[in-house]
Amino acid sequence: MTEHDDGMNRRKVLECMTWAGTGVLWTITGGVPASLGIIDEAVAAPVKGFAFLQISDSHMGFDKPANSNVKGTLEEAIARVKTLTVKPSFMIHTGDISHLSKPSEFDDADQIISHAGLNVRYVPGEHDLLDEDQGKLYLDRYGRGTKGAGWYSFDDNGVHFIGLVNVVNLKAGGLGNLGNEQLEWLEGDLKGRSASQPIVLFAHIPLWTVYPEWGWGTEDGARALGYLKRFGSVTVLNGHIHQVMQKVEGNVTFHTARSTAFPQPAPGTAPSPGPIKVPDDKLRSMLGIANVTFKQNEQRLAIIDTPIQK
Amino acid sequence: MTMIKALTRLLVAGVAAVYLHAAAPASAEEITVKIGNFTFGPQELKVKAGTTITWTNEDDIPHTVVSPNAFRSKVMDTDGKFSFTFTTPGTYKYFCSLHPHMTGTVVVEMQTGNAGPGAQ
Protein backbone atom coordinates (compact mmCIF):
# COMPACT_ATOMS: atom_id res chain seq x y z
CA MET A 1 0.00 0.00 0.00
CA THR A 2 2.68 2.49 -0.88
CA GLU A 3 2.27 5.59 -2.94
CA HIS A 4 3.97 3.83 -5.81
CA ASP A 5 1.38 1.19 -6.24
CA ASP A 6 -0.07 1.77 -9.64
CA GLY A 7 -2.63 -0.93 -9.26
CA MET A 8 -1.21 -3.02 -12.08
CA ASN A 9 1.10 -5.16 -9.98
CA ARG A 10 -1.43 -5.45 -7.23
CA ARG A 11 -4.16 -6.29 -9.55
CA LYS A 12 -7.34 -7.32 -7.93
CA VAL A 13 -10.07 -8.82 -9.88
CA LEU A 14 -13.72 -8.21 -10.01
CA GLU A 15 -15.55 -11.26 -11.08
CA CYS A 16 -19.02 -11.38 -12.43
CA MET A 17 -20.90 -14.57 -12.61
CA THR A 18 -24.30 -15.10 -14.03
CA TRP A 19 -26.64 -17.16 -12.00
CA ALA A 20 -28.11 -19.95 -13.99
CA GLY A 21 -31.54 -18.77 -13.07
CA THR A 22 -32.13 -15.39 -11.61
CA GLY A 23 -29.22 -13.26 -10.70
CA VAL A 24 -25.68 -12.18 -10.44
CA LEU A 25 -23.10 -12.74 -7.84
CA TRP A 26 -20.03 -10.65 -8.01
CA THR A 27 -17.20 -10.59 -5.63
CA ILE A 28 -14.02 -8.63 -5.26
CA THR A 29 -11.05 -10.87 -4.70
CA GLY A 30 -7.27 -10.71 -4.90
CA GLY A 31 -5.01 -12.27 -7.46
CA VAL A 32 -5.40 -13.11 -11.09
CA PRO A 33 -8.69 -13.71 -12.82
CA ALA A 34 -10.05 -17.06 -11.84
CA SER A 35 -13.37 -18.54 -12.54
CA LEU A 36 -15.47 -19.06 -9.50
CA GLY A 37 -17.39 -21.72 -11.29
CA ILE A 38 -21.11 -21.95 -11.04
CA ILE A 39 -22.93 -19.96 -8.48
CA ASP A 40 -23.33 -22.75 -5.97
CA GLU A 41 -19.56 -23.24 -5.82
CA ALA A 42 -19.04 -19.53 -5.49
CA VAL A 43 -21.51 -19.28 -2.66
CA ALA A 44 -20.03 -22.30 -0.95
CA ALA A 45 -16.48 -20.95 -1.19
CA PRO A 46 -15.21 -19.44 2.04
CA VAL A 47 -15.52 -15.67 1.93
CA LYS A 48 -13.40 -13.40 4.04
CA GLY A 49 -14.71 -9.98 4.74
CA PHE A 50 -18.40 -9.44 4.38
CA ALA A 51 -21.18 -9.40 1.86
CA PHE A 52 -24.14 -7.20 1.17
CA LEU A 53 -26.92 -7.48 -1.36
CA GLN A 54 -28.28 -5.18 -3.99
CA ILE A 55 -31.82 -5.41 -5.25
CA SER A 56 -33.35 -2.98 -7.71
CA ASP A 57 -36.32 -1.94 -9.79
CA SER A 58 -39.01 -4.14 -8.30
CA HIS A 59 -41.76 -1.99 -9.89
CA MET A 60 -44.61 -3.25 -7.73
CA GLY A 61 -47.82 -2.51 -9.63
CA PHE A 62 -46.43 -3.06 -13.13
CA ASP A 63 -48.84 -5.38 -14.95
CA LYS A 64 -47.93 -5.16 -18.62
CA PRO A 65 -47.04 -8.08 -20.93
CA ALA A 66 -43.30 -7.91 -20.13
CA ASN A 67 -44.18 -9.36 -16.70
CA SER A 68 -47.71 -9.70 -15.39
CA ASN A 69 -46.49 -11.05 -12.06
CA VAL A 70 -43.89 -8.71 -10.61
CA LYS A 71 -44.80 -9.76 -7.08
CA GLY A 72 -44.02 -13.33 -8.02
CA THR A 73 -40.60 -12.56 -9.46
CA LEU A 74 -39.72 -10.37 -6.47
CA GLU A 75 -40.71 -13.25 -4.21
CA GLU A 76 -38.45 -15.55 -6.24
CA ALA A 77 -35.56 -13.11 -5.97
CA ILE A 78 -36.01 -12.90 -2.20
CA ALA A 79 -36.21 -16.67 -2.03
CA ARG A 80 -32.81 -16.81 -3.74
CA VAL A 81 -31.44 -14.40 -1.15
CA LYS A 82 -32.41 -16.84 1.55
CA THR A 83 -30.42 -19.63 -0.11
CA LEU A 84 -27.12 -17.73 0.22
CA THR A 85 -24.80 -19.55 2.56
CA VAL A 86 -23.00 -16.34 3.46
CA LYS A 87 -25.51 -14.20 5.26
CA PRO A 88 -25.33 -10.67 3.87
CA SER A 89 -24.75 -7.85 6.29
CA PHE A 90 -27.69 -5.91 4.86
CA MET A 91 -29.43 -5.10 1.61
CA ILE A 92 -29.66 -1.99 -0.53
CA HIS A 93 -32.55 -1.28 -2.87
CA THR A 94 -31.55 1.07 -5.68
CA GLY A 95 -34.99 2.42 -6.45
CA ASP A 96 -38.18 1.98 -8.42
CA ILE A 97 -39.58 0.01 -5.54
CA SER A 98 -43.02 0.84 -6.91
CA HIS A 99 -44.32 1.53 -10.39
CA LEU A 100 -46.70 4.41 -9.63
CA SER A 101 -45.84 5.37 -6.02
CA LYS A 102 -49.09 3.95 -4.67
CA PRO A 103 -49.16 3.07 -0.95
CA SER A 104 -50.37 -0.44 -1.83
CA GLU A 105 -47.34 -0.92 -4.11
CA PHE A 106 -44.92 0.13 -1.37
CA ASP A 107 -46.84 -2.17 1.02
CA ASP A 108 -46.39 -5.13 -1.33
CA ALA A 109 -42.68 -4.45 -1.74
CA ASP A 110 -42.13 -4.10 2.01
CA GLN A 111 -44.08 -7.24 2.75
CA ILE A 112 -42.16 -9.39 0.25
CA ILE A 113 -38.71 -7.91 0.91
CA SER A 114 -39.13 -8.32 4.66
CA HIS A 115 -38.95 -12.08 4.14
CA ALA A 116 -35.24 -11.72 3.44
CA GLY A 117 -34.81 -10.91 7.12
CA LEU A 118 -32.29 -8.20 6.33
CA ASN A 119 -31.98 -4.54 7.14
CA VAL A 120 -32.72 -2.67 3.89
CA ARG A 121 -31.43 0.76 2.88
CA TYR A 122 -33.27 2.48 0.05
CA VAL A 123 -32.76 5.22 -2.49
CA PRO A 124 -35.70 6.33 -4.64
CA GLY A 125 -36.21 5.85 -8.35
CA GLU A 126 -38.29 8.23 -10.44
CA HIS A 127 -41.24 5.83 -10.12
CA ASP A 128 -41.21 6.26 -6.34
CA LEU A 129 -41.85 10.01 -6.39
CA LEU A 130 -45.09 10.14 -8.38
CA ASP A 131 -47.46 10.96 -5.53
CA GLU A 132 -49.22 14.33 -5.37
CA ASP A 133 -46.46 15.78 -3.22
CA GLN A 134 -43.70 14.43 -5.46
CA GLY A 135 -41.91 12.24 -2.99
CA LYS A 136 -43.55 12.82 0.39
CA LEU A 137 -44.88 9.26 0.49
CA TYR A 138 -41.41 7.88 -0.17
CA LEU A 139 -39.75 10.08 2.45
CA ASP A 140 -42.40 9.30 5.07
CA ARG A 141 -41.77 5.62 4.57
CA TYR A 142 -38.07 5.30 3.78
CA GLY A 143 -36.54 8.66 4.51
CA ARG A 144 -36.05 8.57 8.25
CA GLY A 145 -32.65 9.97 9.13
CA THR A 146 -31.94 11.07 5.59
CA LYS A 147 -31.18 14.52 4.24
CA GLY A 148 -32.85 16.52 1.46
CA ALA A 149 -34.69 14.30 -0.98
CA GLY A 150 -33.46 11.19 0.85
CA TRP A 151 -29.68 11.00 0.71
CA TYR A 152 -27.51 9.65 3.54
CA SER A 153 -24.36 7.77 4.42
CA PHE A 154 -23.38 5.11 6.91
CA ASP A 155 -20.51 2.80 7.74
CA ASP A 156 -20.59 -0.97 7.82
CA ASN A 157 -17.64 -3.31 8.34
CA GLY A 158 -15.21 -0.47 7.67
CA VAL A 159 -16.78 0.43 4.34
CA HIS A 160 -18.40 3.84 3.86
CA PHE A 161 -21.74 3.63 2.09
CA ILE A 162 -23.38 6.65 0.48
CA GLY A 163 -26.95 6.60 -0.86
CA LEU A 164 -27.64 9.39 -3.34
CA VAL A 165 -30.83 10.65 -4.99
CA ASN A 166 -30.57 11.56 -8.67
CA VAL A 167 -34.22 11.46 -9.70
CA VAL A 168 -35.59 14.82 -8.53
CA ASN A 169 -35.70 18.18 -10.32
CA LEU A 170 -34.84 16.62 -13.64
CA LYS A 171 -34.41 19.19 -16.38
CA ALA A 172 -35.87 19.04 -19.88
CA GLY A 173 -33.49 17.35 -22.25
CA GLY A 174 -31.23 16.34 -19.38
CA LEU A 175 -30.19 13.22 -17.51
CA GLY A 176 -30.34 12.22 -13.85
CA ASN A 177 -29.57 15.07 -11.49
CA LEU A 178 -27.97 15.29 -8.03
CA GLY A 179 -28.12 19.04 -7.55
CA ASN A 180 -25.88 21.47 -5.76
CA GLU A 181 -27.22 20.93 -2.24
CA GLN A 182 -26.61 17.19 -2.36
CA LEU A 183 -23.19 17.57 -3.97
CA GLU A 184 -22.10 19.98 -1.26
CA TRP A 185 -23.29 17.55 1.35
CA LEU A 186 -21.34 14.78 -0.38
CA GLU A 187 -18.17 16.82 -0.44
CA GLY A 188 -18.54 17.47 3.29
CA ASP A 189 -19.35 13.84 4.01
CA LEU A 190 -16.09 12.73 2.40
CA LYS A 191 -13.92 15.46 3.85
CA GLY A 192 -11.36 14.19 6.32
CA ARG A 193 -12.12 10.57 5.52
CA SER A 194 -9.14 8.26 5.02
CA ALA A 195 -8.42 7.67 1.34
CA SER A 196 -7.90 4.01 2.14
CA GLN A 197 -11.46 3.49 3.30
CA PRO A 198 -13.47 1.62 0.67
CA ILE A 199 -16.41 3.67 -0.61
CA VAL A 200 -19.65 2.33 -2.01
CA LEU A 201 -21.84 4.89 -3.71
CA PHE A 202 -25.34 3.92 -4.78
CA ALA A 203 -28.13 5.73 -6.58
CA HIS A 204 -30.94 4.83 -8.95
CA ILE A 205 -29.87 6.22 -12.32
CA PRO A 206 -26.33 5.33 -13.39
CA LEU A 207 -23.90 7.99 -12.18
CA TRP A 208 -21.87 7.57 -15.32
CA THR A 209 -23.11 8.18 -18.82
CA VAL A 210 -24.36 4.89 -20.17
CA TYR A 211 -26.55 6.14 -23.02
CA PRO A 212 -27.64 9.78 -23.01
CA GLU A 213 -30.06 9.24 -25.91
CA TRP A 214 -32.21 7.31 -23.43
CA GLY A 215 -31.38 9.51 -20.47
CA TRP A 216 -29.13 6.85 -18.94
CA GLY A 217 -26.65 8.93 -17.05
CA THR A 218 -26.39 11.68 -14.44
CA GLU A 219 -25.92 15.28 -15.49
CA ASP A 220 -23.65 16.21 -12.58
CA GLY A 221 -22.38 12.71 -11.81
CA ALA A 222 -18.85 13.68 -12.79
CA ARG A 223 -18.75 16.26 -9.99
CA ALA A 224 -19.68 13.60 -7.46
CA LEU A 225 -17.01 11.28 -8.81
CA GLY A 226 -14.51 14.11 -8.66
CA TYR A 227 -14.84 14.12 -4.86
CA LEU A 228 -13.95 10.42 -4.88
CA LYS A 229 -10.77 10.63 -6.93
CA ARG A 230 -8.45 10.37 -3.94
CA PHE A 231 -10.04 7.18 -2.65
CA GLY A 232 -8.36 3.90 -3.45
CA SER A 233 -11.51 1.80 -3.73
CA VAL A 234 -14.75 3.17 -5.07
CA THR A 235 -17.70 1.05 -6.12
CA VAL A 236 -20.71 2.69 -7.75
CA LEU A 237 -23.93 0.68 -7.80
CA ASN A 238 -27.00 1.70 -9.77
CA GLY A 239 -30.24 0.32 -11.16
CA HIS A 240 -32.69 1.97 -13.56
CA ILE A 241 -31.55 0.30 -16.79
CA HIS A 242 -32.75 -3.21 -15.86
CA GLN A 243 -29.65 -5.00 -17.05
CA VAL A 244 -26.15 -5.71 -15.85
CA MET A 245 -23.58 -3.28 -17.12
CA GLN A 246 -20.12 -2.66 -15.82
CA LYS A 247 -17.29 -0.27 -16.35
CA VAL A 248 -13.98 0.26 -14.62
CA GLU A 249 -12.20 3.58 -14.60
CA GLY A 250 -9.11 3.88 -12.45
CA ASN A 251 -10.08 2.93 -8.92
CA VAL A 252 -13.77 3.20 -9.64
CA THR A 253 -15.96 0.27 -10.55
CA PHE A 254 -19.39 1.04 -11.94
CA HIS A 255 -22.04 -1.61 -11.89
CA THR A 256 -25.76 -1.72 -12.61
CA ALA A 257 -28.04 -4.42 -11.26
CA ARG A 258 -30.82 -6.28 -12.94
CA SER A 259 -34.43 -5.52 -12.16
CA THR A 260 -36.60 -8.06 -10.36
CA ALA A 261 -39.53 -7.02 -12.58
CA PHE A 262 -38.75 -6.82 -16.30
CA PRO A 263 -35.77 -6.46 -18.62
CA GLN A 264 -35.00 -3.43 -20.75
CA PRO A 265 -33.11 -3.44 -24.03
CA ALA A 266 -29.39 -2.88 -24.38
CA PRO A 267 -28.61 0.72 -25.38
CA GLY A 268 -29.69 1.51 -28.90
CA THR A 269 -30.98 -1.97 -29.69
CA ALA A 270 -34.65 -0.98 -29.64
CA PRO A 271 -36.68 2.08 -30.65
CA SER A 272 -37.04 3.00 -26.97
CA PRO A 273 -35.89 1.85 -23.52
CA GLY A 274 -39.36 0.43 -22.76
CA PRO A 275 -39.85 -3.03 -21.22
CA ILE A 276 -38.98 -5.92 -23.48
CA LYS A 277 -41.22 -8.94 -23.69
CA VAL A 278 -39.17 -12.12 -23.73
CA PRO A 279 -40.43 -15.70 -23.78
CA ASP A 280 -41.68 -16.75 -20.36
CA ASP A 281 -38.95 -19.34 -19.96
CA LYS A 282 -36.30 -16.70 -20.59
CA LEU A 283 -37.64 -13.94 -18.35
CA ARG A 284 -36.08 -15.16 -15.14
CA SER A 285 -32.64 -15.30 -16.65
CA MET A 286 -32.93 -11.56 -17.20
CA LEU A 287 -34.01 -10.61 -13.69
CA GLY A 288 -32.09 -10.89 -10.49
CA ILE A 289 -30.15 -9.54 -7.58
CA ALA A 290 -26.51 -8.74 -6.95
CA ASN A 291 -24.37 -9.96 -4.11
CA VAL A 292 -21.32 -7.89 -3.34
CA THR A 293 -18.53 -9.36 -1.27
CA PHE A 294 -15.71 -7.33 0.15
CA LYS A 295 -12.49 -8.94 1.08
CA GLN A 296 -11.05 -7.02 3.94
CA ASN A 297 -7.54 -5.56 3.75
CA GLU A 298 -7.98 -5.00 0.04
CA GLN A 299 -7.87 -1.25 0.20
CA ARG A 300 -6.86 -0.52 -3.32
CA LEU A 301 -8.75 -2.30 -5.97
CA ALA A 302 -7.43 -2.38 -9.47
CA ILE A 303 -10.28 -4.00 -11.19
CA ILE A 304 -10.62 -5.88 -14.42
CA ASP A 305 -13.83 -5.36 -16.26
CA THR A 306 -15.41 -8.71 -16.89
CA PRO A 307 -18.35 -8.65 -19.28
CA ILE A 308 -21.12 -10.96 -18.34
CA GLN A 309 -22.84 -11.64 -21.60
CA LYS A 310 -23.75 -10.26 -25.01
CA MET B 1 -79.89 4.19 -36.21
CA THR B 2 -79.80 6.87 -38.85
CA MET B 3 -79.33 9.44 -36.14
CA ILE B 4 -76.32 7.54 -34.80
CA LYS B 5 -74.90 7.12 -38.30
CA ALA B 6 -75.21 10.80 -38.95
CA LEU B 7 -73.55 11.57 -35.66
CA THR B 8 -70.76 9.15 -36.43
CA ARG B 9 -70.21 10.79 -39.81
CA LEU B 10 -70.03 14.14 -38.17
CA LEU B 11 -67.53 12.83 -35.65
CA VAL B 12 -65.41 11.22 -38.34
CA ALA B 13 -65.48 14.42 -40.35
CA GLY B 14 -64.48 16.34 -37.25
CA VAL B 15 -61.56 14.06 -36.50
CA ALA B 16 -60.42 14.23 -40.13
CA ALA B 17 -60.55 18.00 -39.98
CA VAL B 18 -58.43 17.99 -36.87
CA TYR B 19 -55.82 15.85 -38.53
CA LEU B 20 -55.84 17.95 -41.68
CA HIS B 21 -55.28 21.06 -39.69
CA ALA B 22 -52.80 19.62 -37.25
CA ALA B 23 -50.11 19.67 -39.90
CA ALA B 24 -50.35 23.38 -40.59
CA PRO B 25 -51.13 26.43 -38.51
CA ALA B 26 -54.86 26.65 -38.72
CA SER B 27 -57.97 26.90 -36.63
CA ALA B 28 -58.03 23.38 -35.15
CA GLU B 29 -59.31 23.39 -31.61
CA GLU B 30 -58.59 19.83 -30.51
CA ILE B 31 -55.27 18.19 -31.21
CA THR B 32 -53.89 14.89 -30.01
CA VAL B 33 -50.27 14.15 -29.20
CA LYS B 34 -49.40 10.50 -28.89
CA ILE B 35 -46.73 9.36 -26.50
CA GLY B 36 -45.12 6.23 -27.86
CA ASN B 37 -41.64 4.73 -27.77
CA PHE B 38 -40.64 7.46 -25.33
CA THR B 39 -41.33 10.21 -27.85
CA PHE B 40 -44.03 12.82 -28.32
CA GLY B 41 -45.69 12.71 -31.72
CA PRO B 42 -45.79 15.16 -33.26
CA GLN B 43 -42.88 16.55 -31.34
CA GLU B 44 -43.48 20.10 -32.53
CA LEU B 45 -46.84 21.72 -32.99
CA LYS B 46 -48.02 25.12 -34.11
CA VAL B 47 -51.55 25.95 -32.97
CA LYS B 48 -53.92 28.87 -32.58
CA ALA B 49 -54.59 30.32 -29.16
CA GLY B 50 -57.57 28.53 -27.66
CA THR B 51 -56.50 25.12 -28.92
CA THR B 52 -56.74 22.18 -26.57
CA ILE B 53 -54.05 19.55 -26.85
CA THR B 54 -54.59 16.09 -25.42
CA TRP B 55 -51.62 13.83 -24.77
CA THR B 56 -52.26 10.09 -24.69
CA ASN B 57 -49.73 7.63 -23.32
CA GLU B 58 -49.44 4.56 -25.52
CA ASP B 59 -46.32 3.20 -23.83
CA ASP B 60 -46.07 0.39 -21.28
CA ILE B 61 -44.33 2.83 -18.98
CA PRO B 62 -45.87 5.88 -17.28
CA HIS B 63 -45.03 9.36 -18.48
CA THR B 64 -45.81 12.95 -17.56
CA VAL B 65 -46.08 16.18 -19.51
CA VAL B 66 -44.50 19.18 -17.80
CA SER B 67 -43.95 22.70 -19.06
CA PRO B 68 -42.38 24.78 -16.30
CA ASN B 69 -44.64 27.66 -15.22
CA ALA B 70 -47.37 26.53 -17.63
CA PHE B 71 -48.71 23.06 -16.93
CA ARG B 72 -47.89 19.83 -15.19
CA SER B 73 -49.81 16.62 -15.71
CA LYS B 74 -50.28 13.92 -13.16
CA VAL B 75 -48.53 10.70 -14.01
CA MET B 76 -50.18 8.99 -16.99
CA ASP B 77 -50.07 5.23 -16.99
CA THR B 78 -50.78 3.30 -20.19
CA ASP B 79 -53.75 4.90 -22.02
CA GLY B 80 -53.71 7.80 -19.58
CA LYS B 81 -54.58 11.23 -20.97
CA PHE B 82 -53.86 14.83 -20.13
CA SER B 83 -55.37 17.93 -21.77
CA PHE B 84 -54.35 21.54 -21.67
CA THR B 85 -55.92 24.52 -23.41
CA PHE B 86 -53.42 27.05 -24.70
CA THR B 87 -54.93 30.52 -24.34
CA THR B 88 -51.78 32.62 -24.37
CA PRO B 89 -49.57 32.91 -27.47
CA GLY B 90 -45.97 31.89 -27.00
CA THR B 91 -43.56 28.99 -27.25
CA TYR B 92 -44.14 26.20 -24.76
CA LYS B 93 -41.34 23.72 -24.33
CA TYR B 94 -42.38 20.66 -22.39
CA PHE B 95 -40.88 17.34 -21.29
CA CYS B 96 -41.56 14.14 -19.37
CA SER B 97 -40.38 14.60 -15.79
CA LEU B 98 -39.66 10.88 -15.50
CA HIS B 99 -37.71 10.68 -18.74
CA PRO B 100 -36.42 14.18 -19.38
CA HIS B 101 -34.84 13.23 -22.68
CA MET B 102 -38.42 13.24 -23.97
CA THR B 103 -39.11 16.79 -25.08
CA GLY B 104 -41.66 18.61 -27.22
CA THR B 105 -42.67 22.11 -28.22
CA VAL B 106 -45.99 23.82 -28.77
CA VAL B 107 -45.97 27.19 -30.50
CA VAL B 108 -49.19 29.07 -29.85
CA GLU B 109 -50.06 31.83 -32.28
CA MET B 110 -52.59 34.58 -31.93
CA GLN B 111 -55.98 33.74 -33.32
CA THR B 112 -55.59 36.20 -36.20
CA GLY B 113 -53.03 33.82 -37.62
CA ASN B 114 -50.27 36.36 -37.56
CA ALA B 115 -47.70 35.23 -35.04
CA GLY B 116 -45.40 38.09 -35.92
CA PRO B 117 -41.81 37.94 -37.10
CA GLY B 118 -39.46 35.31 -35.77
CA ALA B 119 -42.18 33.10 -34.39
CA GLN B 120 -41.74 30.20 -36.77
Whole-complex ipTM: 0.80
In chain B, the residue whose alpha carbon lies closest to the alpha carbon of A126 is B98
CATH of A12-294, one of 3.20.20.70, 3.40.50.920, 3.60.21.10, 1.10.3720.10: 3.60.21.10
Cβ separation of A272 and B94 shorter than 8 Å?
no
Instruction: Show me where the domains of chain A are located.
Output: 12-294
Confidence of residue B111 (pLDDT cuts 50, 70, 90): confident
Min Cα–Cα distance to chain A from B43, Å: 13
Confidence of residue B70 (pLDDT cuts 50, 70, 90): very high
B72 touches chain A (CB under 8 A): no
**Structural domains of chain B ordered from first start:** 2-109 (2.60.40.420)
First CA to last CA distance, chain A: 36
Mean pLDDT over B94-117 rounds to 85
Q: CA of A79: how far to CAs of A22, A96, A115, A265, in Å?
A: 10, 20, 8, 26
Cβ separation of A65 and B37 shorter than 8 Å?
no
What pLDDT score does A293 carry?
A: 72
In chain A, the residue whose alpha carbon lies closest to the alpha carbon of B98 is A126
Who among B39, B75, B78 is closest to A64 (CB)?
Answer: B78
What pLDDT score does B4 carry?
A: 53
- In the predicted model, residues of chain A with pLDDT beneath 50 are 1-47, 299-310
In chain A, the residue whose alpha carbon lies closest to the alpha carbon of B60 is A64
DSSP class of residue A220 equals: T
All residues of chain A having their beta carbon less than 8 Å from the beta carbon of residue B101 are 173-175, 212-215
Spatial contact of A25 and A19, defined as CB atoms under 8 Å apart? yes
In chain B, the residue whose alpha carbon lies closest to the alpha carbon of A67 is B60
What pLDDT score does A202 carry?
A: 96
All residues of chain B having their beta carbon less than 8 Å from the beta carbon of residue A64 are 60, 78
Q: Is the pLDDT of residue B115 over 80?
A: no
What pLDDT score does A296 carry?
A: 56
Please state the separation of Cα B63 from the chain's center in Å: 15
CA distance B56 to B54: 6
What pLDDT score does A158 carry?
A: 87
CA distance A96 to B77: 15
DSSP class of residue A191 equals: T
How confident is the prediction for chain B on average, in pLDDT?
82
Who among B61, B68, B94 is closest to A275 (CB)?
Answer: B61
Cβ separation of B95 and A215 shorter than 8 Å?
no
> Which range has the worst mean pLDDT, A189-203, B14-28, B30-44?
B14-28
What pLDDT score does B119 carry?
A: 42
Residue A256 dihedral angles phi and psi, to the nearest 5°: -110, 145
> Which range has the worst mean pLDDT, A42-46, B35-39, B112-116?
A42-46
Mean pLDDT over B71-78 rounds to 97
- Of B109, B87, B37, B27, nearest in space to A273 by CA: B37
B82 touches chain A (CB under 8 A): no
Cβ separation of A275 and B39 shorter than 8 Å?
no
